[in-house]
Amino acid sequence: MVAALFRTDRPQGFVALPLLVLALTVPLGMRGWTPPAGGCMPFYQALIWLMEWHPWLPAVLSGMAVLIVAVQAGALANEIELFGRRTRLPLLHIPVLLGLWPAGVALDPVLAGMPAALLAVRAIWARAGRSKSITPWFEAGLWAGVAALFQVQYVFLVVAVWTSTAVLHPFRWRAYLLPLLGVALPLYLTWGGHVLIGSSWRPLSTMLVSPVQWSFPNALYVILGVALMTLLLVATLGAFAASYQRANLRGKNVRAAFLGLFLVLGVMAALGAWLTGELAPAWIGVPLGLFVCFPFTPSGYGAIKEVAAWCLLLLALWCQWAGTVNLAA
């Protein structure tokens, strides 16, 4: 069973993850997906040059990125005890929820920068109440700056660092200044490099680069997807509220910090959609992949959870393979 395979903290989840990612990313190579051309941040521009070497490299690198993000997010959730118990459910839900969007598993700038963004929040979350050093705040800002070299909106991840600091750590004014210095350092060095080689660099203009999108398979897919996600979100909100009430003070603070990150990424998603007219799925898919783990983590209602997990998986496979085989109307 799908949900039962990932619900416990056992290694079989890691065995199934590559197979799941492979099933979701093979259609990228078969379709011949190409990344957005020009006007991107330097680190993502380097990935574009790499992906141009072979038609299948975009699919291979996309699969690697999805796998890395899923493993990172799952490890972080277990480290901070986000769900109250150890689980491998993020390894299932993050790839599947990304796969519900036609280009959700494609390596766009947001997905490419997500590993660095997760390292930024980990620097603050994993050391809550355990370190008196101010180094984690500079480290968090530094990783946010690295993520911004893939997608410039990641500079606003500093806000998530500040909200996490407010609920997880005692007040220290340097904890609010050091993330700004950290995020500015990679951007300053990149700007200096462009100056030395006599090249102009306009990072704000990269916010207008539209992510590559495909249309959904058909109207039936949209109806089923919206209905399933609505039911799942209702169950998730109830499970999250119950988990918050049962948690101790540290657990409540961790969940509050997670909600802060979710809101910040949601605002960045809305900003990107407003500027380009397209939504980059990783903004929502990654935190939502963690969020929907809450109703699946407790024991009980196993059959209902299995049906929900299978429905999500089949919808994701339908969405990714619809442009490759004749599944779309």
Higher pLDDT among residues 322 and 254, named by residue = 254
Helix residue ranges, H only, 32-80: 42-51, 57-79
Please report whether residue 103 resides in a domain. Answer: yes
Please report whether residue 125 resides in a domain. Answer: yes
pLDDT of residue 326: 41
Contacts of 164 (CB under 8 A, 6+ apart): 121, 124, 125, 257, 260, 261
Decide if pLDDT at 33 tops 70: no
pLDDT of residue 324: 58
* Residue 20 binned pLDDT confidence (cut-offs 50, 70, 90): very high
The mean predicted confidence, pLDDT, of the chain is 86
Range of the domain at 241: 2-321
* Residue 131 binned pLDDT confidence (cut-offs 50, 70, 90): low
Decide if pLDDT at 90 tops 60: yes
* Residue 329 binned pLDDT confidence (cut-offs 50, 70, 90): very low
Please report whether residue 166 resides in a domain. Answer: yes
Decide if pLDDT at 59 tops 60: yes
Please report whether residue 230 resides in a domain. Answer: yes
* Residue 288 binned pLDDT confidence (cut-offs 50, 70, 90): very high
Helix residue ranges, H only, the chain: 2-7, 12-31, 42-51, 57-79, 89-99, 109-125, 135-148, 157-168, 174-196, 219-246, 249-276, 282-291, 302-321
Decide if pLDDT at 302 tops 80: no
Please report whether residue 328 resides in a domain. Answer: no
* Residue 325 binned pLDDT confidence (cut-offs 50, 70, 90): very low
Please report whether residue 329 resides in a domain. Answer: no
Please report whether residue 327 resides in a domain. Answer: no
Query: What digits encode the pLDDT tens for the residues 169-214?
Result: 777 778 788 899 999 999 888 888 877 887 777 777 777 776 666 6
pLDDT of residue 27: 87
Please report whether residue 326 resides in a domain. Answer: no
Decide if pLDDT at 300 tops 90: no
Decide if pLDDT at 304 tops 50: yes
